[in-house]
């Protein structure tokens, strides 16, 4: 039975949500989900055409306003431009999702160049720092808001192929907690810690080997589907999480800390 007088805890009507890495994978699903709840959505990623295509699809399907912005979050000038462009268009930012990330392969740690290391830190940690700082200062001066940093289970259980990436995401976890203290009570800052999701990145995996391993190392015995990030994102973006800040929510099928 539905109580028509009960507010929708996940309602985002009139809110402005900015999602980096928003044109595909988990970011794409979050953009779509925010739009279904009434938010105006800013789709940001390095490739403008991909952002514009998704923004057009969202407007056509959900009737909500959208904005496509090309942004390499490892570049502070791009971060500044993303925030400025959003404020110029919509006048406010209510939700920021730092979702853009990268974890390039390397043959050995000694083969990791300074340029590659800096890129990994730049996209996964430096960019989120800059965007969160700018967005939070705006939110704090206005009606508050929510910042969501997308981490990874590699931040707590990195493997040999994810050393710089795991270190950057561990830094993002620390940043999440520190910013929650710094910008409370009006701005909530939380993290989502995804485990293995079957997005574009999984196309490079040996999926037969992954499926076999998942049966013994992941309690839910499978990888996640991109749509399964939506519940956590809507919770943290909306009033449903009004007493939640400085939290990092695992969405990983139980894989982190599971026995090998």
Q: Which tokens is 138 given?
A: 């705006």
**How many helices (H) does the chain have, and how many strands (E)?**
8, 7
Rounded to an integer, what distance in angstroms lies between the CA atom of residue 226 and that of residue 150?
Answer: 13
What's the CA gap between 99 and 175, in Å, rounded?
14
Return the sign of the alpha-carbon dihedral for residues 62, 145, 149, 68: positive
Contact between 238 and 12 under an 8 Å Cβ cutoff? The reply is yes
235 is catalytic: no
Catalytic residue among 106, 165, 235, 243: 165
* Residue positions annotated with a catalytic role: 165
């Amino acid at each position: 039975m539905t109580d028509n007088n009960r507010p929708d805890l996940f309602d985002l009507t009139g809110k402005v949500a900015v999602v980096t890495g928003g044109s595909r994978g988990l970011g794409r699903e979050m953009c779509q989900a925010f739009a279904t709840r009434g938010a105006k959505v800013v789709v940001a990623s390095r490739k403008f055409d991909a952002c514009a295509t998704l923004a057009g699809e969202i407007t056509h399907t959900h009737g909500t306003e959208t904005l496509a912005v090309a942004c390499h979050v490892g570049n502070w000038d791009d971060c500044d431009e993303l925030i400025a462009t959003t404020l110029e268009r919509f006048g406010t930012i209510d939700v920021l999702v730092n979702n853009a990330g990268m974890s390039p392969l390397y043959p050995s740690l000694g083969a990791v160049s300074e340029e590659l290391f800096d890129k990994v830190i730049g996209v996964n940690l430096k960019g989120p720092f800059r965007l969160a700082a700018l967005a939070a200062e705006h939110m704090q001066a206005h009606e508050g808001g929510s910042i969501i940093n997308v981490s990874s289970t590699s931040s707590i259980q990195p493997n040999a192929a994810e050393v710089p990436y795991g270190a950057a995401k561990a830094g993002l976890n620390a940043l999440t907690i520190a910013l929650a203290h710094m910008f409370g009570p009006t701005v909530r800052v939380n993290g989502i810690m995804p485990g293995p999701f079957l997005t574009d990145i999984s196309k490079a995996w040996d999926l037969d080997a992954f499926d076999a391993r998942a049966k013994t190392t992941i309690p839910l015995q499978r990888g996640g589907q991109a749509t399964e990030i939506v519940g956590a994102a809507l919770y943290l973006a909306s009033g449903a999480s009004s007493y939640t800040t400085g939290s990092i929510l695992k969405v990983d099928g139980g894989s982190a800390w599971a026995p090998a």
